[in-house]
Every structure is written in structure tokens, then in C-alpha cells.
Structure 1
């Protein structure tokens, strides 16, 4: 069944404005009449009379009825670079000259019409169907804009504008990056399944409560139970069945295109890591820090995949819309999790966050996304010095992380993730081996 066309909301005010010809007609008509009276030339008055008649006729023409519209797109979920096709259906009462334009679109680029999605149909009676083609430019949740319609009666000199419909929202997924090898979690398990293990041991899945025994970890004490019973009790967990990886995404970005593109590259790398580890049955969580925040606790399976990609799309939408802010809350990362930061190192706050997790005992690593190609070209000596200072600042932050025990690897602008992850895998594995040897 065909969906009905939408009428403008009752509270949507119709904007009326004069046609550009109206001031010209009035000036020519009345100006000529005044001049004819001043010089006493009746022939000049006859010359200006038609302009007055045209202006009067254009003002008394009846306005057409309010338009109705529907915007349809063929797919609401696409990947970066895909083409979005759709159709705009317009209808109105009576005879009218109609112009339509789609405004306030984000994250997409018009293909047809180009460069602005606007139409001026030749038909004077509705309905009309107008094709629409867009290209998905950046990832995120994006509203495809608002449809504005401008109408006037034939030979009329008063135009009316009204917002008729809101375009659908489209989900643009980050373009996939394939990884040859994975980062090894601190304590990988070879066996994974849906059911909890019958055995008990270190983990995050609740199993039982029991009285405190010498040798129990202080972090396992259940303070609420201990206060209620008057003696220390500890929480017992089921052992983990898979490795746990927390991807820490840097969202300290600005409002310009370069910083939004830097975030997009980091998000693609984060999605590549998360999806690859989920395919290996690891438990994966996402923690975004910066101007926009998100937290998906570590879990596995298809549900975790969709939750992570939904949060990434929300972060991408915030990158496109500078007015959107999302507040994060304090989170507790599992003790056995491997924390992998994905960052362009444009903020000292994110480096501090990585060091915080390292000081808390987590195996921590960082994929540093190289965004030097996004810098403006060197036009003079000052630009060259600024570029060197930018590289020096990033190197200082990277050395700071290395001294704090956070292994770092630089991802080149081309997005060669496989080699970077392989190098980071070796460094993280070596660090974990040294830590285990020191504990023994």
C-alpha cells in the first residue's frame, strides 16, 4: 500500500514574500504616473498604466493550497562511499509554479541534483516524482535534511514557502578494514560458549558470596554484604572463557573537517579491531573519551557487534554536528582486560587516560593514527616550522606513553592496519611476558 503524502504541521508557519518583479512593476508604474502628472504629459501616464495593472493582477491572484510531500530512500543503512537513491513525491491543489529544495543535510554529498538537491518541475499540477541521488561521505547517524517548497500561482507576485517534510535518517557504517592478525589479550582462553563454567575462579561473572579467607584479593570484597553481616565477605566469580579487549577511542576533536576526518580514521581502526576480536569469540567493549562519550561493557556475540557499531555511529553523528554533546559516566574496566587506545594524539587528556589504565594494572597499548597528511601544505617558512612543531608535540606525547609502559605503534595515513596491529601485537605480547616473569 502506498504511504500517504505528508502535509506541513499545523504549527509550521507559511512564509510569504513578494516576487522580485513586484517592486519593479510598482516602481515603473507609479513612478511613471507621478512623472506624467508633474510634467502634464498624458501619454506618459498611458505608458505606466500596464505596470500598475500587472502588479494589481499579481497581488489578487489566489494562492495555491498547501503542498504535500513524501521522501523515500531505498536503503537506511549503507557504508561510506555507497550511493543512496530515493524519490521525492510532491502534490498540491490547483495550478502553481513550484520549486523544492532539500536543506540541512549532513554526512552526504548530492549527486543528482548537484550541487544542491533542488528541483523546479515543469508540471503545474501535481503530483510529481523527483529522483534523488546522494553519496554517503562520512559515517554516523545522519538526517538527510528538510524539504522546503516555494509556490506561487501563475502570474502571481506573492510566493509562499513552507517546510513540508523531514527526510529519513540514514546510518552510514565505517568502511571496513581487514586485519591479518589480532592483538593477544592478557589471558586468552581457547574455549568459548554461551554457558557459564561450573568452576569458580577469577573473572567478572558473578557466582557466589562467601566469608573472607586469607589470600583473597581486596578488590573482591563485597562491602555491602560485609557491612550488613558485620564480617568481611568476598564475591566469587565464574572464570572467564575468552579474552577481554576494551577499545579506547579518542574523540577529542574540533569542529573543522580535518579533525572530523582524524576521528573517522580512528573510528575505522577501532571498528576493525572490535569486529576482528568479536569474530575470534573475544569479549570486546568500547570506551569513547572526549567531547562525546560512550561506554559499551565488554561482551561477545552479534549483540555486542551491533551495540558497538551503534555507539560508533552516534560518535560519528556528533562529529558532523558540532552542537551535539554526550556526557560520559565513570566506568570500571575489567581487571583482566587488554586496553587498546586508538588516537591521533591531539590531546594530552587522552594520553593521561591511557596512563591511568596502565597504572591500574591493565595491559595497555595504543594505535597512533598518523594525520599529518591532513595538515595544510607548507606555503612559507612559518608553515614549515608549525608542521615541525606539530610532529614534535605528537612525538613528545608518544614518548610519554612509552615511558609510562604503554606500547605505541604509528598507523600510516594509508590505513595499513594489518602491519601496525602485527607490530603492536609483538610489543604487547613481550610486555605481558615480562610482567608474568617478574610475578613468578
Structure 2
């Protein structure tokens, strides 16, 4: 019987369990007694010879029965880490000195990989205390449960055991790992004191933005006389406001499209991975990055900000995404904190009309909008019905992508850093055409 015990240390779980006879011990006792009785009643010395060692083992096992209950304490050294990194699970056991063997089974899975094969270890005990450390590594982002297997102590001759059965274990949050996107285009990396990407909001700054026709209210000192003389009408120079560019990530998790390969990321996993990479890149460049998640009501909008702590907030929000938990998102909330000139990157499988309409509406408000298509390149099509459904979905997505392109919203499929580079190049070309 296992009973929980309060523990004053955060992140630790302590339980207590008594000792009980193992099926192995009960079997030895039963077979030994049966053979001994048969030997006496049947006057069979051969049966008595066979029964004697079994009875000796049974007696030794009974005499070595531990009396003191076992106490198990498990803890995770770090319950918040990035995918692919390693954390330590500590196992501390207080036990009767007559306990001889400790077995630990971490119950590994495809999403949580232990350092030892199969996640199981056995240790010979010495004394009344044992401290063990086991390394585990989450292979993908998200919530994980650690120490869901079994911890078992055995006495001499494996006659008695003290077992701590599988439970919920410790909760572990693996953050998606951001990577600096190795963009090669210098045109997309203007130097700036605050951030590498200039804000496109006109204002008082030191960086030149563009030359445009004079408007009522413009300052006389901003008049660009060479252009005014050449064109015959007044033109002024505008400057970029001295603040970092604002990048808003819109992650669509209204639906999750699986990949044909179980080990390959689905559309939601690809969206989270791409968002983490993009957020890490722009944060490292000094730009302000914000986050909106459509399809998960539990994740609050993350306002645009900079710095390492803000990046951790973004990654923490992405790691807790629960796909399709909110089927009716409030599209009006998408405009909060966004001003003309902001860059909106929508990471979506292009299957939701709600998201497409919202993206088009935001583009018409003067935002730089681009879409990253996170649909898997192949899906499960074992059945004819699934194959037909996938073809219909592909046609609908192509039609949606064409609609967005006609609205001036570039769409690229997510593969690697080159996808973002191509997207930014097309946005840059769009800006230059607008200035011309």
C-alpha cells in the first residue's frame, strides 16, 4: 500500500509503502509445502529431496522480511527547460537495512527519452538510504510527466517487495527551442541603435524613411528642395521613429493536421517550432515581438516586448498550446497593440476562413502581413476517402493562398530559415513598389 506524505520542498513528491510477499515467494512456499506433504504421505524420499531446498529458501526469505516501511522521495531538478536539453530526476529512498535491490523504471516514451536504455535501472542497496540520479531529455516541446513508471525494493531471495506504483509523476514543461535564423540578406538587416529592423512608423528619428509629397502640418525644415525643384511640387523627407520594429506572431491552432510519418511534426507542431525560431531571431535582432494564438483560449495574448525574459514568456506560451480548445476565437482582439507599419506573421495551415479573413482585414489596415503555411507536405492517405479529402483540402488551400497573394500578402511554406528569408524579401519588394 502506498500513501503520500507531505514534503516541504517544492517540486518534490514523497510517498511511503509497506512490504508484502511476492508471488515468487508464495509460489516457493506453496510448492515446497505440497512436495513435503506428498513425500510424507507417499513415503517418497525423492520428493523430500526436491522440497528441502525450496523450504530452506522459503524460510530464509521469511526470516529476512523487512519491517520498516520504505519512504520514497522523487524530484526534478529543473521542471522548465528547452526541448532537446537534459534535466535530472533524483530518487531518494529510506528503507529497511534488509532491503537488497532497488529497481527504477522511468516509463520512457517517444516524447521523453531517458539516458539509459529502456529507462530501467537496478541497484544493489547498502545501508538504509539510497540516492540516485537519472537523466531525461524531452524530445519535443510541451507538457510531460516524469517518473510515471515504478520504483520497487526487494528483500533477500526476492521474498518481499515494497512497490511504488505508477502515478502522475512530476510535470515538466519543455519549451520549443529557438534558433537564430541564418538570414543572408543584408538588405533585410538594416543597422540601428535600438534594433536591427527599423520601425516603419514615421516620426522624429535619425534614420531616413522616404520622400513623399508635402502635406498640411509637415515641418518646413523637412522639405527636400532638390526633389521639390525637380518635380515642381513640395516634397518632404520622413524619418523612421527611433523604436524597434514590432513583429506580431499569429499562430493558428484551430485545427491540427497530422503528417503521414508519425515522427514528423503535425501542423500545430510545425507552427510552434516555426514561431519559436522566428521569435528567437527577431528578439536577438533587438526587435519587439508579440504573440497571438487562435484556437486556444487558455493562452493570453503576449504584448510586444524585447529581451531574454520576454523571449522566455513567448516560448512558455507556445509550449502550452492546446490545439482546437477554442473553436470561436475573438478576431477583434487581433488588432490590439498593432499600428500601421507593424509586421504580422501568420503561421497557419490555411484551413480556417476566420483566420484568412482576419489576415486580409489587418493587411487592409496598413500592416505588413505575411503567411507561413505550416501544413505537412504529406498526410495519412491509406484510405481512398482520406486521399480524396486530402486532395480537396489541398485545392482549397491553393485557392486560399492565391486569394492572399492577390491581396498582396505573400505566402510561403515552412521548411527552414530560407522560408522566412524569402518572405522578408517579398515584403521588402512590396514596400519598394509602394514607395515608387
TM-score category (smaller protein): 0.5 to 0.7
Residues 106-255 of structure 1 aligned to structure 2 (within 5 Å)? 107-110=111-114, 112-116=115-119, 118-125=120-127, 127-140=129-142, 142=144, 144-146=146-148, 148-162=150-164, 169=172, 171-178=174-181, 179-180=183-184, 181=188, 187=201, 191=205, 241-254=243-256
Alpha-carbon distance between aligned partners in 2 of 1:188 and 1:274, rounded to the nearest angstrom = 24
Partner of 2:194: none
Partner of 2:400: 397
Is the CA contact (8 Å cut-off) linking 2:96 and 2:128 kept in structure 1?
Answer: yes
Is the CA contact (8 Å cut-off) linking 1:82 and 1:135 kept in structure 2?
Answer: yes
SS at structure 2 position matched to 1:121: strand
Distance 1:171 1:414, change over 3 A: closer
Is the CA contact (8 Å cut-off) linking 1:107 and 1:136 kept in structure 2?
Answer: yes
Alpha-carbon distance between aligned partners in 2 of 1:325 and 1:108, rounded to the nearest angstrom = 27
Is the CA contact (8 Å cut-off) linking 2:205 and 2:242 kept in structure 1?
Answer: no
Partner of 1:289: 294
Count of residue pairs the alignment pairs up: 371
Distance 1:384 1:185, change over 3 A: farther
Is the CA contact (8 Å cut-off) linking 1:354 and 1:364 kept in structure 2?
Answer: yes
1:408 aligned to which of 407, 410, 416: 410
Quote how far apart the aligned CAs of 1:99 are: 1.0
Unaligned runs of 5+ in 2: 1-7, 190-196, 207-240
1:13-43 deviations in whole A, cap 9, x for unaligned?
Answer: 6376652313532552454467668xx5132
Is the CA contact (8 Å cut-off) linking 1:8 and 1:163 kept in structure 2?
Answer: no
SS at structure 2 position matched to 1:150: strand
2:355 aligned to which of 350, 353, 360: 350
SS at structure 2 position matched to 1:372: coil
Residues 85-124 of structure 1 aligned to structure 2 (within 5 Å)? 88=91, 90-96=93-99, 97-103=101-107, 107-110=111-114, 112-116=115-119, 118-124=120-126
Partner of 2:304: 298
Is the CA contact (8 Å cut-off) linking 2:16 and 2:70 kept in structure 1?
Answer: no
1:267 aligned to which of 260, 267, 272: 272
Alpha-carbon distance between aligned partners in 1 of 2:310 and 2:273, rounded to the nearest angstrom = 17
When the two chains are superposed, the root-mean-square deviation of aligned CA atoms in Å is: 4.6
Quote how far apart the aligned CAs of 1:94 are: 0.7
Residues 6-45 of structure 1 aligned to structure 2 (within 5 Å)? 9=14, 12=15, 14=17, 18-29=21-32, 31-32=34-35, 40-43=41-44
Q: TM-score, normalised by structure 1?
A: 0.65
1:208-255 deviations in whole A, cap 9, x for unaligned?
Answer: xxxxxxxxxxxxxxxxxxxxxxxxxxxxxxx99444332101223549
Partner of 1:420: 422
SS at structure 2 position matched to 1:115: helix
SS at structure 1 position matched to 2:118: coil
Distance 1:254 1:29, change over 3 A: farther
Alpha-carbon distance between aligned partners in 1 of 2:255 and 2:285, rounded to the nearest angstrom = 31
Partner of 1:313: 319
SS at structure 2 position matched to 1:287: strand
SS at structure 2 position matched to 1:416: helix
Quote how far apart the aligned CAs of 1:285 are: 1.5
1:185-216 deviations in whole A, cap 9, x for unaligned?
Answer: 65366849xxxxxxxxxxxxxxxxxxxxxxxx
SS at structure 1 position matched to 2:428: helix
Alpha-carbon distance between aligned partners in 1 of 2:302 and 2:89, rounded to the nearest angstrom = 34
Unaligned runs of 5+ in 1: 193-238
1:398-418 deviations in whole A, cap 9, x for unaligned?
Answer: 234345x36132235345234
Alpha-carbon distance between aligned partners in 2 of 1:325 and 1:43, rounded to the nearest angstrom = 76
